[in-house]
């Protein structure tokens, strides 16, 4: 048997605040394989974003271990951590995190530019990916001149351009209307055929049902549903 793409062992996360401890994830064990779309559902505050941030190496577990492609990510040096992120991980944030001083096309080109790709090539690629999310007519718009849904589609194009193996999406269709949600999701479906692993936190039941399976998060425990 080949190694799981992502292996999670006894993962726990708690937050300390001035007067209490919030236990968000408790002793989670999971193997996640590539070529799958996995939905994460759960009520607001159940820890979906926390879980995605741990997988994206943006935060550290309180206890337990995450391995990506057989490599433990717990004790990576700063250099190796950044390399792991650059080579393998894209995240679409709940609040899209676009750079307000850059146009749509520049925002999307950014992951390539910071990977030292040629500028003109990066811009060409950005145009291609913006067209895939139906924003071919918004290339030179600044984020503030785009609707919430359009901004989210720019963020999605930006996460796709670096062609990483792991794509984490935190409620990516939260601001989109029905038609755009279905369209964006169909793009995630294409990615899965490229043997990527796509993990999507969502409140949208219909989209969750289109995933290969759902991880439902409640009281710190993750249960696998359907499949
Ligand atoms: N940095 C933090 N410090 C303290 N509490 C936090 C922090 N981040 C998240 N939490 C708490 O952890 C719980 C899970 O939050 P979150 O992962 O954002 O949930 P979800 O994405 O499912 O809505 C919430 O109760 C939230 O208030
Ligand atoms: Mg969240």
pLDDT in tens, 22-43: 999 999 999 999 899 999 999 9
Distance from Cα 222 to the centre of ligand 2, integer Å: 15
Evaluate: CB of 45 within 6 angstroms of ligand 1: yes
- Token pair, residue 84, equals 């792991």
Question: Given this model, what pLDDT does residue 57 score?
Answer: 94
Q: Which CATH class is domain 6-225?
A: alpha beta
187: pLDDT strictly greater than 60: yes
Question: Given this model, what pLDDT does residue 96 score?
Answer: 73
pLDDT in tens, 169-184: 999 887 778 887 887 7
Q: What is the mean pLDDT of residues 98-107?
A: 97
Evaluate: CB of 46 within 6 angstroms of ligand 1: yes
Domain ranges of the chain: 6-225
Distance CA 50, CA 60 (A): 10
Closest residue by Cα to atom 26, ligand 1, is 45
pTM of model > 0.85? yes
For residue 42, give the ligand 1 atom closest to its CA. 22
Distance CA 154, CA 136 (A): 11
Q: How many CA atoms lie within 13 A of 134 on its CB side?
A: 12
Closest residue by Cα to atom 25, ligand 1, is 45
Question: Given this model, what pLDDT does residue 123 score?
Answer: 98
In contact, 136 and 130? CB cutoff 8 Å: yes
Confidence of residue 2 (pLDDT cuts 50, 70, 90): low
Closest residue by Cα to atom 6, ligand 1, is 15
pLDDT in tens, 48-62: 999 999 999 999 999
Distance CA 192, CA 67 (A): 20
Question: Given this model, what pLDDT does residue 144 score?
Answer: 96
Q: Which of 49, 51, 199, 222 for a ligand 1 pocket mutation test, highest count of atoms within 8 Å of Cβ?
A: 49
Distance CA 138, CA 22 (A): 42
Q: What is the mean pLDDT of residues 124-147?
A: 95
Total residue length of the chain? 227
pLDDT in tens, 196-227: 999 999 988 888 898 999 999 999 999 998 76
């Amino acid at each position: 048997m080949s190694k799981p793409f992502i292996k999670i062992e006894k993962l726990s996360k708690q937050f300390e605040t001035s007067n209490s401890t919030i236990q968000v994830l408790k002793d989670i064990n999971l193997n996640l394989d590539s070529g799958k779309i996995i939905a994460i559902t759960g009520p607001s505050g159940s820890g979906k974003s926390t879980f995605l941030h741990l997988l994206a190496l943006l935060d550290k577990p309180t206890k337990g271990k995450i391995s990506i492609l057989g490599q433990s990510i717990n004790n990576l040096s700063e250099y190796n951590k950044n390399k792991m992120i650059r080579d393998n991980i894209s995240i679409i944030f709940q609040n899209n995190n676009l750079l307000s001083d850059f146009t749509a096309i520049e925002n999307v080109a950014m992951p390539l530019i910071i990977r030292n790709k040629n500028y003109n090539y990066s811009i060409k690629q950005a145009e291609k990916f913006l067209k895939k999310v139906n924003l071919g007519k918004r290339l030179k718009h600044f984020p503030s001149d785009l609707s919430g849904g359009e901004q989210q589609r720019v963020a999605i194009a930006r996460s796709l351009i670096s062609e990483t193996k792991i794509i984490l999406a935190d409620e990516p269709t939260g601001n989109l209307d029905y038609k755009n949600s279905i369209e964006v999701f169909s793009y995630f479906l294409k990615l899965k055929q490229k043997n990527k692993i796509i993990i999507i936190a969502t409140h949208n039941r219909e989209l969750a049902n289109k995933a290969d399976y759902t991880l439902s998060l409640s009281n710190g425990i993750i249960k696998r549903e359907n499949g």
